[in-house]
């Protein structure tokens, strides 16, 4: 970000896009992650807020239809005051900040107060939402222009639109923020001479798992939208392009479309699980329910490195263990050459990958990614008389130790990190479950189950569908009374396949 931010402060006006976190621009993602303060609107998808860095302070100034908790003048004041403190401030707005987003007004205030600013455009819902519903807003055979109109009106007032002009346009009409004025818009266009048979659609919560489409003729649109219970946020599309929406629909064809999945992960990890779920069409909320931190007492590691040459094996049972171990080495001016001649064993693909990223290929990984299988695989290596180091979680399983010692090995079982539970700052998880807005929770370890339970005390766990990566994780989830499902293999790909089976079962139920 800006090198001078701590002396003069700066504001970045960032478009958040229509809801799908994947539609946030790369520049917007980088700035959001580095921000000191994020001032965000109601229409910003909650999954986007998980991008905010741990040090970033979030201020909700969201406006909803008929409810304006924070007046625009106060929002302007917040931006100026935070910037004057020397903060890097992100003003995060749904869609694009310059398309009916009052972004220009906010920049005028910043300019008048001598505050530096930048604009990061966003993907606008007027184009993205129809695209997710199979509606190209322009098409050579149907429309050569598109017209974006605000349908927003103040309470008790009518919209200030020239329906006579709009009805004569031959292109596609896209009305943003127009659901509460749908009846007026429909009547205005019809009274101005537009055919009641004109194809039209209302699109609710586009680009998210809850997206809904009502396609009808213009004359029937208000009635059909009412029957479907359409509510804001939604957009209205009027024009011949709506005629081909069923032919071109694609989002609904994705295996996990319509599913909203919660992934609990350590906050330090970029979630491979979330990425793979999104590619299948799921809307994913990444909640860092736990953080892995080094144990305050590192004397065990110090002692181990004093006689490192005595070890035959180092056994890593988690990605976090790899990260903490090698971070400690870096902090103490040590590198991988110190591990020369020592063989390494890992419990699964994720841990193997983490080790490979540090320049070491694992010598041993069991076919089944569980502690018992890892112990058996080590015993098969002939470990009698070998010295083995196991750097692990403070509350991790100790089941490896008796098996390895029983095979004649000398084991240093060393706790090097612990899990700390993290409150979720960006999503009210209890409210999300109360409203039935989470279809499934994906757990990649027993510790993430405990972290989830710690930050959701009071919810009915019997309503939680838990997709578990392995047997130990399932056992932990079952303790809380969740509806538990287990992946066939302890891999991320198998876990994703499991969520597809859960969706299929829900459809059949």
Residues acting as catalytic residues: 41, 63
Q: Contact 128/18 with Cβ under 8 angstroms?
A: yes
Q: What DSSP assignment string belongs to 151-191?
A: ----TT------HHHHHH--SEEEEES-GGGHHHHHHHHHH
Buried b vs exposed e over 219-255: b needs ≥16 C-beta within 10 Å?
bebbebbeeeebebbbbbbbbebbbbbeeeeebeeeb
| Packed helices 103-112 and 72-84: angle between N→C axes, nearest 10 degrees | 50
The answer for 18, left when phi > 0, alpha when psi is -120 to 50, beta otherwise, is: alpha
Q: Contact 443/420 with Cβ under 8 angstroms?
A: no
> Dihedral sign, CA of 171, 166, 230, 70?
positive
Which residues are 343's β-sheet partners?
A: 313
Q: Contact 217/241 with Cβ under 8 angstroms?
A: no
Question: How many whole angstroms separate alpha carbon 149 and alpha carbon 101?
Answer: 12
Buried b vs exposed e over 77-88: b needs ≥16 C-beta within 10 Å?
ebbbebbeeebb
Question: How many whole angstroms separate alpha carbon 285 and alpha carbon 377?
Answer: 36
Question: How many whole angstroms separate alpha carbon 88 and alpha carbon 31?
Answer: 9
- The secondary element (H helix, E strand) that includes residue 70 is none
């Amino acid at each position: 970000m800006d090198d001078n931010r701590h002396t003069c402060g700066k504001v970045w006006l960032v478009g958040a896009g229509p809801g799908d976190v994947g539609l946030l621009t790369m520049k917007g993602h980088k700035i959001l992650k580095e921000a000191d303060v994020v001032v965000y609107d109601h229409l910003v998808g909650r999954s986007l807020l998980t991008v905010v860095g741990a040090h970033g302070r979030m201020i909700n100034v969201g406006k909803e239809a008929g409810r304006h908790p924070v007046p625009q003048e106060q929002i302007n004041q917040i931006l100026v005051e935070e910037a004057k403190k020397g903060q890097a401030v992100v003003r995060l707005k749904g869609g694009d900040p310059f398309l009916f987003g009052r972004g220009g007004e906010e920049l005028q205030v910043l300019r008048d107060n001598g505050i530096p600013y930048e604009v990061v455009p966003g993907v606008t819902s007027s184009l993205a939402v129809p695209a997710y519903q199979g509606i190209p807003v322009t098409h050579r055979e149907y429309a050569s222009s598109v017209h974006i109109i605000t349908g927003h009106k103040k309470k008790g007032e009518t919209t200030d639109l020239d329906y006579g002009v709009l009805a004569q346009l031959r292109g596609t009409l896209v009305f943003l923020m127009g659901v509460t004025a749908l009846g007026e818009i429909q009547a205005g266009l019809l009274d101005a001479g537009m055919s009641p048979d004109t194809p039209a659609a209302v699109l609710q919560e586009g680009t998210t798992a809850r997206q809904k489409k009502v396609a009808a003729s213009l004359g029937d649109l208000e009635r059909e939208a009412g029957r479907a219970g359409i509510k804001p946020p939604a957009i209205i599309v009027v024009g011949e392009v709506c005629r081909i929406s069923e032919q071109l629909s694609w989002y609904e064809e994705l295996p996990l479309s319509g599913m909203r999945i919660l992934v609990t992960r350590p906050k330090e990890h970029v979630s491979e699980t979330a990425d793979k779920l999104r590619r299948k069409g799921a809307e994913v909320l990444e909640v860092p329910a736990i953080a892995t931190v080094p144990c305050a007492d590192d004397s065990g590691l110090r002692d181990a490195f004093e006689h490192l040459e005595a070890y035959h094996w180092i056994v890593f049972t988690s990605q976090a263990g790899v990260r903490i171990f090698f971070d400690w080495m870096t902090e103490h001016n040590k590198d991988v050459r110190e591990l020369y001649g020592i063989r390494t064993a890992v419990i699964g693909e994720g841990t193997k990958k983490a080790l490979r990223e540090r320049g070491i290929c694992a010598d041993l990984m069991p076919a089944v990614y569980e502690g018992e299988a890892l112990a058996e695989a080590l015993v098969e290596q002939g470990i009698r008389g070998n010295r083995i180091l196991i750097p692990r979680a403070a509350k991790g399983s100790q089941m490896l130790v008796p098996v390895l010692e029983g095979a004649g090995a000398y084991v240093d079982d060393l706790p090097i990190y612990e899990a700390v539970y993290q409150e979720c700052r960006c999503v009210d998880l209890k409210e999300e479950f109360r409203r039935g807005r989470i279809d499934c929770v994906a757990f990649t370890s027993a510790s993430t189950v405990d972290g989830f339970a710690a930050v959701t005390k009071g919810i009915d766990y019997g309503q939680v569908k838990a997709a578990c990566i392995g047997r130990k994780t399932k056992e932990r989830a079952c303790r809380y009374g969740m509806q538990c499902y287990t992946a066939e293999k302890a891999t991320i790909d198998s876990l994703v396949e499991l969520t597809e089976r859960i969706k299929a079962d829900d459809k059949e139920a």
